[in-house]
Each structure stands twice: as structure tokens, then as C-alpha cells.
Amino acid sequence: MAARGLHNTTDLIPLLAERDIALSRPQVYRLVNQRPERMSLQVMAALCDIFECTPADLLTTTAADVRTRKTGTASAPNVVQLDRTVRPRRANILDE
């Protein structure tokens, strides 16, 4: 913000209003000083226009809660190994 000459969070309010984004002072303060959980695309586009940047310049991504994928090749503890030498008997179908 300082690189664009904006030193207070309230300086953003009129710039957002020019782009039809109506946010209160507390909302703008939280947007600047805290990590938002979600943000509308309109606000993101307005911020990119104000700061003349791309969304990649404003966002950082981290992988959270990454789980290992199940491949189906490893034997799980609840899988029973069957005896492969035992084969089923062929069924005889009788006509009545």
C-alpha cells in the first residue's frame, strides 16, 4: 500500500467506492491487517485494479491438510489374504 501512496487503511475506501465496492472502515481494516478466509472476486478485481497487480501478487498459497493417497496396492490391516490354492467347484445346472 505504501508503494502506491496509501498509508492508512481508510485511504482504500474511496478507491473501492469508485469501483462500486462498498466496505465499511472495519471491513477494510480487517481486509488489510488480517488474513481473510474468503473474498469476493469483485473485491479481488478492485484491489488488483487499485494496486495495478495480478491476483498472484496478492495471494500466497500453502498446502494444508494434505493426506496421502490410497493406491490400493499396499495391504491394509483389515484385508484378509485368501488361500489362492483353493478354487471354487463348477456348478452343475440340472433341467427339471
Q: Quote the pTM value.
A: 0.58
**Whole-number pLDDT of residue 54:** 92
**Cβ neighbour number for residue 28 with a 10 Å cutoff:** 18
Domain that holds residue 12: 2-58
C-alpha atoms less than 13 angstroms from C-alpha of 15 in its C-beta half-sphere? 19
Is the residue at 22 inside a domain? yes
Is the residue at 96 inside a domain? no
**Whole-number pLDDT of residue 62:** 79
Per-residue pLDDT of the chain (96 residues), as tens digits, is 666 667 778 888 899 999 999 999 999 999 888 888 888 999 999 999 998 999 988 888 777 777 777 766 666 667 677 777 777 788 888 887
Is the residue at 54 inside a domain? yes
Q: How many domains does the chain have?
A: 1
Is the residue at 53 inside a domain? yes
**Whole-number pLDDT of residue 75:** 60
How many whole angstroms separate alpha carbon 11 and alpha carbon 58? 18
Is the residue at 45 inside a domain? yes
Is the residue at 63 inside a domain? no
Is the residue at 28 inside a domain? yes
Is the residue at 7 inside a domain? yes
